[in-house]
Amino acid sequence: MSLDLTRIKALCFDVDGTLSDTDDLYAQKVSGFFPSFLFKDRDLTARRFVMWAEAPGNALLGFADRFGIDDEMIAIIHWLSRYLRRSSKKFMLIPGVDDMLKQLHGRYPMAVVSARDERTTLDFLEQFDLVKYFDVIVTGLSAAYTKPYPDPVLLAAKLMKVSPENCLMIGDTTVDIRAGKSAGTQTVGVLCGFGEEAELNQMGANMILKDTPKLLEILIL
């Protein structure tokens, strides 16, 4: 697929794996909780779990179906997801993100569209003084349903007063691509998080970039 630059009037950014490197921190913690006798590759399983955990409710069901996990393990995973979100205080910024946002600021209305709760989303943005770049911040409880449903993307578009078809959703997982496509936006997948190029392509991303700051080369010619 290709990206129609003439349509782009506003930008929607995921956080984990797109602006922030916290995904790898989650995966390292999660891996230690998964019994080796249940999972041949705990690190890969942990990465997949963190990706699915971005859509807390129905995502856990998909995770269970995929790996045949029983109810007790589902309860543990549900607790683990909540625990990690509460306990992780350390954030890392993907190199080049600050400069990218600085250059895009004023050229496009910009929104954060994250499945995180409001407090941890703001903790990250405030730690790196990024709040000033965003017109809208949509978090996990801002809309009736979170990603991969379109609701948070549609809400961001509405608050920016831009039609969804004129928005660009940028994220690192199929969850982000699904949410954007369902909302009617164009989508860019980035490879600096958990998503793999093949699965992002299969989900229908309009473009795939090595990392989020590469967006500058596309939007500012």
Dump pLDDT digits (tens) for 95-125: 999 999 999 999 999 999 998 889 889 999 9
In the chain, domain spans: 5-21+91-219, 23-87
CB contact set of 146 (below 8 Å; sequence gap of 6+): 54, 55, 56, 115, 140, 152
Cβ-based neighbour number of residue 24 at 10 Å:
17
Dump pLDDT digits (tens) for 141-191: 899 888 989 999 999 999 999 999 999 999 999 999 999 999 999 999 999
**What does the pLDDT read at residue 221?**
66
**What does the pLDDT read at residue 74?**
54
Give the architecture-level CATH label for domain 5-21+91-219: 3-Layer(aba) Sandwich (3.40)
C-alpha to C-alpha distance for 46 and 104, rounded to whole angstroms: 34
Dump pLDDT digits (tens) for 83-92: 555 555 567 8
The runs of H, that is alpha helices, within the chain are 22-31, 42-52, 56-67, 71-87, 97-104, 118-127, 151-160, 174-183, 197-203, 215-219
- With beta carbons less than 8 A apart as the criterion, state whether 168 and 153 touch: no
CB contact set of 129 (below 8 Å; sequence gap of 6+): none
